[in-house]
Amino acid sequence: MNHDPSCIFCRIASGQLPSRKVYEDEQLLAFHDIAPWAPVHFLIIPKKHIASLADTTPAAHEALLGRMLALAPGLAREQGVTNGFRTLINTGEDGLQEVPHLHMHVIGGPRPWKKG
């Protein structure tokens, strides 16, 4: 499925719901988390609906996953991160994933902020 109308991040990706955009290209969107844990906290998502990292395979998603990770340092720098950041992908129920559309958190900025 490319777009799941019941999925909040699909609706953000399609512009049906607003977000504070950090970056966009044909495949990917990055936007600020609505409930940030730290001075900088944004999410990088594929525009296409993929429910979680557990729904990817190397054959189909290696390039997409590589691009998500490779974007993080430059976008973090653009957001003012100078001293390190966390990248985090929660996967599935036991992995504490709340929104069932693959997303990578990028979390940083001057401490103190809790580990989450």
Closest CB to ligand 5GP among residues 15, 59: 15
Residue 69 interface partner, choices Zn ion, ligand 5GP, none, CB cut-off 5-8 Å depending on type: none
Among 7, 64, 75, 88, binds Zn ion (CB under 5 A): 7
* Contact between residue 72 and residue 2 where contact means Cβ atoms under 8 Å apart: no
The tokens 């190397």 sit on which residue?
Answer: 58
Give yes or no for a contact between 40 and 111, defined as CB atoms under 8 angstroms apart.
no
Build a one-symbol-per-residue string for 40-79: x at contacts with ligand 5GP by CB under 6 A, - elsewhere.
----------------------------------------
- Residue 42 binds: one of ligand 5GP, Zn ion, none (C-beta under 5 to 8 A by kind): none
User: Which residues neighbour 70 within 8 Å (Cβ) at sequence distance 6 or greater?
Assistant: none
SS3 call for 86: strand
